[in-house]
Amino acid sequence: MRAIVLAGNGDASMLQVADVPKPEPAAGQLLVQVQAVGVNPIDYKLRQTGAFGFSTGSILGFDCAGVVEAVGPGVREFKRGDAVFYSPDFSGPGAYAEYHCVSADIVAFKPKCVDFIEAAAIPLAGMTAWDSIMDRGALRLGETVLIHGASGGVGSIALQLAHAAGAYVFATASPANMGLVRSLGADYVIDRTKEDFAQVIRSHAPRRSADLVFDAFGAELVSRSMPLVRPLGRIVTIVNPSGDLAVGYRKNISLHYVFLQRRRSTLEELSHLLTRRLLKPVISHVLPLEQAAEGHRMLEAGGGFGKIVLKVTHAA
């Protein structure tokens, strides 16, 4: 089968098209004919660093949508022909390939309301956003939330979850993406290149503070946001924060670090929102699988929005 294989660790040129053996599903696994796979920042970070053992010969790709080709021993929930979506874990090959084997426990049925391209834009970013906003962030109706990096893959879903939950949403974005962020449900869009988000919150938030801050951008945004969070408020980050975090201690602020937990139940929650049109995938580019390296370059360049998805074409 065709796959995108690492020739080594380094720049995007390390992603090479290769023919590799078609995998066979083990007990508890599905063999999925991949239709589309999302590109995420973790992909290029693993390509660059070799973390988790991803080095020469490895296959990346941690968002997948496709059709069940075969089931391994012990699988009862799925059958050949089922349309599914999921996020492969880091214990085996990723899904930049025509076929992929995955534990059935982390797979969910693809919602009928989205196609394979759209479905592939959801799992990793969607589950990360759900954990950040709904589980660890414990967002409640009527609360005020500030979302940093609201136009990205995770941020755009976090914004929609917060809006659907009935929160008052402030969101930062670059000028090029402010219209998109507003269309996704932000009550107040902050131009991160010109406006002081702290001043905006103090001037326009209902209680002049935030109940929850979510950081999908990085740098010192967590430390700079702490003065804006009410006592006993929450901050959730998916990147390592920097700067002085001492004010959080004095205000009894809860700081949560979120690293994706793969659960079928979370995919099912996201499916309900997709079906009710309370959540929509945000996709900037669709490329053929063979252009995975170009997808990496585009993502690394920054300044984009939503997700890049690779389409897998199968021979008739």
- Summarised one tens digit per residue, pLDDT across range 224-261 is 999 999 999 999 999 988 888 888 989 999 999 999 99
Please choose, from the candidates 108, 110, 118, 127, the residue with its C-alpha nearest in 3D space to the C-alpha of residue 30.
108
260-291 as b/e: b if 16+ CB within 10 A: bebbeebbebbbebbeeeebbbbbbbbbebeb
CB atoms closer than 10 angstroms to residue 185 = 17
Contact (Cβ atoms closer than 8 angstroms) between residue 133 and residue 161: yes
Which residues, 6+ apart, have CB-to-CB distance to 53 below 8 Å? Answer: none
Contact (Cβ atoms closer than 8 angstroms) between residue 311 and residue 36: yes
What pLDDT, on a 0 to 100 scale, did the predictor assign at position 202? 95
What pLDDT, on a 0 to 100 scale, did the predictor assign at position 316? 61
DSSP, res 111 = P
Token pair for 226: 């702490």
- Identify the sign of the CA torsion 54, 66, 158, 269: negative
Structural domains present in the chain: 2-122+281-311 (3.90.180.10), 125-257 (3.40.50.720)
Q: Which amino acid is at 99?
A: Y
What pLDDT, on a 0 to 100 scale, did the predictor assign at position 219? 81
Token pair for 34: 């991949």
What pLDDT, on a 0 to 100 scale, did the predictor assign at position 210? 98
What pLDDT, on a 0 to 100 scale, did the predictor assign at position 207? 92
With a cut of 50, list the residues of the chain below it in pLDDT. Answer: none
SS3 content of the chain, % helix, strand, coil (to 5): 35, 30, 40
What pLDDT, on a 0 to 100 scale, did the predictor assign at position 217? 86
CB atoms closer than 10 angstroms to residue 22 = 13
Helices (H), the chain: 41-49, 116-119, 123-130, 153-164, 178-183, 197-204, 221-225, 246-250, 264-275, 292-301
Query: How many whole angstroms separate alpha carbon 137 and alpha carbon 146?
Result: 12
Query: How many whole angstroms separate alpha carbon 12 and alpha carbon 122?
Result: 23
Query: How many whole angstroms separate alpha carbon 250 and alpha carbon 233?
Result: 12
100-137 as b/e: b if 16+ CB within 10 A: bbbbbebbbbbbeebebbbbbbbbbbbbbbbbbbbbbb
Query: How many whole angstroms separate alpha carbon 129 and alpha carbon 105?
Result: 20
Tell me the sheet residues that pair with 73: none
State pLDDT tens for residues 275-304: 999 999 999 999 999 999 999 999 999 888
What pLDDT, on a 0 to 100 scale, did the predictor assign at position 3? 98
Query: How many whole angstroms separate alpha carbon 242 and alpha carbon 261?
Result: 24
What pLDDT, on a 0 to 100 scale, did the predictor assign at position 242? 87
Contact (Cβ atoms closer than 8 angstroms) between residue 138 and residue 256: no
